[in-house]
Amino acid sequence: MEHPIAPAGITRRRALTVTGGMLAGAALAGHAFPAVAGESQDADVIVVGHGLAGLVATAELAAAGRKVLLLDQEPEASLGGQAFWSFGGLFFVDSEEQRLMGVKDTHDLAWQDWLGSAGFDRGVADPAGQDHWAYKWAEAYVDFASGEKRSWLAGLGVQWFPIVGWAERGGGLADGHGNSVPRFHVTWGTGPAVVEPFEKKVRAAVAAGKAGFRFRHRVDGIVTTGGAVTGVRGAVLEPSGAARGKPSSRTVIGEFELRAPVVVVTSGGIGANHDLVRQNWPARLGTPPKTMVTGVPAHVDGRMLAITERAGGRIVNPDRMWHYTEGLRNYDPIWPGHGIRILPGPSSMWFDATGKRFGTPDIPGYDTLHTLGSITASGYDYSWFVTTQKIIAKEFALSGSEQNPDLTNKNVWQLLSRIWQTPEPIEKFKKNGADFVVATTLSELVAGMNKLTGDNLIDLARLKAQIEARDREMDNPYTKDVQVMGIRNALSYIGDSLSRTAPAHKILDPSAGPLIAVRLNVLTRKTLGGLQTDLSGRVLGVSGEPVPGLYAAGEVAGFGGGGVHGYRSLEGTFLGGCLFSGRQAGRAAAAATAT
């Protein structure tokens, strides 16, 4: 689609950013913020949630000269929130890294992929529609990802691993779901390196007296006066020495109320609250699993969604969510029910709990939510990879900064060791993880699979027939097996052939062994819906008008607009959504509080 015409020298991306801030500033400048006689404001802006979006918003506000208070119920050890634990993947379009890999990407191709994945269908053209602002945020975000996003972050010292990953390859049609080309850029230093520049900015602002931390401050209510936000109130929790990611005490030792004319909510999603996940589970994905592993720390509880709704905010698209299908039970958990996701290459065979092979597009790395629906339709909460040592050595990666010490610690020699050996974290899971079965023969493997689950659902003859049928397709450079086509497609991309796809081989080839089966659990992760916001990050009420003084950014806002991803994500867009929406809200709130 064509972009609206902007004056020469002003890009559409810049126009959106500036216009958003100007609109917010104009709207709030004309509003007389209520004040209680004799009481002064504690800050110009209060930010609730010290994850990535909160840090970005706070950094922007402090840079604009605003006095900011940054609140969170967790201790200082958890500063940076969920982003710290991430793999650090970021979605860029036509980046230097893509060009180095020979990838030809364009804004139009990315927008085609985004629309094909999002499937916006809830009132895009209707200002009251759930997808109205989500669509606008998507346009702005794809502009950002294909424009200044990379240079902005590079200017802050962020760097990326030169090989671009190809995540969510899609459902098989050009205009459908999925990335047409590799766009998953792994940050050198993973999640902590994405958090670092913004944490430094905020700490510098605190040292300069422009900002203040309020750790262990749990917000229980947003205070409004005459329909406008005037602050927050809540409970002071007892000091906690809990390590990052570990559950902290909820013992209350006091109460607080802080006053400010603007509150920015950046509190994250609902991934650790399985009750809320099941409550909002969409019928299109079948019956919610009875058993799931948890991909986020316990403090990702979704409390602020209801609290902000009570203050007048509108929640949209609550049934849109993003949970992974390749979850492992962490043998060394940090938080309750801690799960780790396998980021698979294309070669492992995928079977349901009964040993029936999934069809297209339920292939490793292709269509996460379609496969999730296929798993729930099977009547069981888990599925299986059947694979080989040769495949896991080249193709398995584990999500999480702590599972990638080479990338996280920027250790080049440790990273290069992946060329000749299976990464140590993978081998540790293979040895200690509850979900791995290793065997030299298929009969031994099936026996181990049935023993692990205790239900004897896997029939040896049936499993063998399906594997042998797939193996016969490896004899020619062409095939009718869609997964084998995908393997050969991956091997034609230099990034995959170097680091993410094993040489094509038969599963039952003894030289590729031992054989490995991996039980895969559903892993809770992201909230795709949330508080509806305009392009300034202002929270909208049920009437469609902004709630005066109330902003939101990050996952609590569906990463912008109440659902910028629509039904599906292209991956690498969650951290980016925190960065972009946090920046938008911070800049707009700064403009709105200008004197």
pLDDT over threshold 70, residue 16:
no
Question: How many angstroms separate the CA atoms of 120 and 558, rounded?
Answer: 14
CB atoms within 10 A of CB 359: 11
pLDDT over threshold 50, residue 351:
yes
pLDDT over threshold 80, residue 35:
no
Question: How large is the C-alpha radius of gyration of the chain?
Answer: 24
pLDDT over threshold 60, residue 89:
yes
Q: Which run of H or of E encompasses 521?
A: strand 515-527
pLDDT over threshold 80, residue 190:
yes
Q: Which two tokens stand for residue 443?
A: 């009969």
Q: What is the pTM of this model?
A: 0.93
Q: Which two tokens stand for residue 44?
A: 């110009």
Q: Are 87 and 343 in contact (CB under 8 A)?
A: yes
What's the pLDDT tens digit per position in 111-151? Answer: 999 999 999 999 999 999 999 999 999 999 999 999 999 99
What percentage of the chain's residues is helix, strand, coil (to nearest 5)? 35, 20, 45
pLDDT over threshold 80, residue 494:
yes
The pLDDT-based confidence of 14 (bands split at 50, 70, 90) is very low
What residue has token string 């005066």?
A: 548
* Residue 550 DSSP SS3: strand
What residue has token string 């759930």?
A: 130
CB atoms within 10 A of CB 386: 26
Q: Are 484 and 478 in contact (CB under 8 A)?
A: no
- Tell me the average pLDDT across 65-90: 98
- Tell me the average pLDDT across 310-339: 98
Percent of the chain whose pLDDT exceeds 70:
93
Instruction: Report in angstroms the alpha-carbon separations of 518 from 144, 325, 353, 403.
Output: 38, 12, 11, 18
User: 197, exposed or middle or buried, with CB in 10 Å at 0-12, 13-18, 19+?
Assistant: middle
Question: How many angstroms separate the CA atoms of 520 and 466, rounded?
Answer: 19
Q: Which two tokens stand for residue 413?
A: 């020699």
The pLDDT-based confidence of 39 (bands split at 50, 70, 90) is low
pLDDT over threshold 60, residue 431:
yes
pLDDT over threshold 80, residue 3:
no
Beta strands 397-398 and 68-72 are unpaired
- Poorest-confidence range of 38-52, 128-142, 216-230, 567-581? 38-52
pLDDT over threshold 90, residue 393:
yes
**pLDDT on residue 95:** 98
- Tell me the average pLDDT across 396-423: 92
Question: How many angstroms separate the CA atoms of 593 and 595, rounded?
Answer: 6
**pLDDT on residue 105:** 98
pLDDT over threshold 80, residue 232:
yes
- Tell me the average pLDDT across 107-112: 98
Instruction: Report in angstroms the alpha-carbon separations of 446 from 95, 353, 459, 475, 517.
Output: 45, 12, 7, 25, 9
The pLDDT-based confidence of 521 (bands split at 50, 70, 90) is very high
Question: How many angstroms separate the CA atoms of 163 and 469, rounded?
Answer: 33
Residues 6+ apart with CB under 8 A from 131: 120, 121, 122, 123, 124, 317, 563, 566
Question: How many angstroms separate the CA atoms of 126 and 63, rounded?
Answer: 36
Answer left, alpha or beta for residue 406, where phi above 0 means left and psi between -120 and 50 means alpha: alpha
The pLDDT-based confidence of 33 (bands split at 50, 70, 90) is very low
**Phi and psi torsions of 131, nearest 5°:** -100, 5
What's the pLDDT tens digit per position in 540-569? Answer: 999 999 999 999 999 999 999 999 999 999
- For the four alpha carbons of 486, 488, 493 and 498, in that order, the dihedral sign comes to positive
Q: Which two tokens stand for residue 115?
A: 């629309």
Cis peptide before 361 (omega within 30 of 0): yes
One-letter amino acid at 502 equals A
- For the four alpha carbons of 61, 62, 64 and 68, in that order, the dihedral sign comes to positive
Q: Per DSSP, what are the bridge partners of residue 340?
A: 328
- Triad 118, 121, 122: Cα angle to 5°: 120
Q: Which two tokens stand for residue 89?
A: 């993947």
**Phi and psi torsions of 235, nearest 5°:** -115, 140
b vs e for 72-111, b when ≥16 Cβ sit within 10 Å of the residue's Cβ? bbbbeebbbbbbbbbbbbbbbbbbebbeebebebeeebbb
What's the pLDDT tens digit per position in 579-593? Answer: 999 999 999 999 999
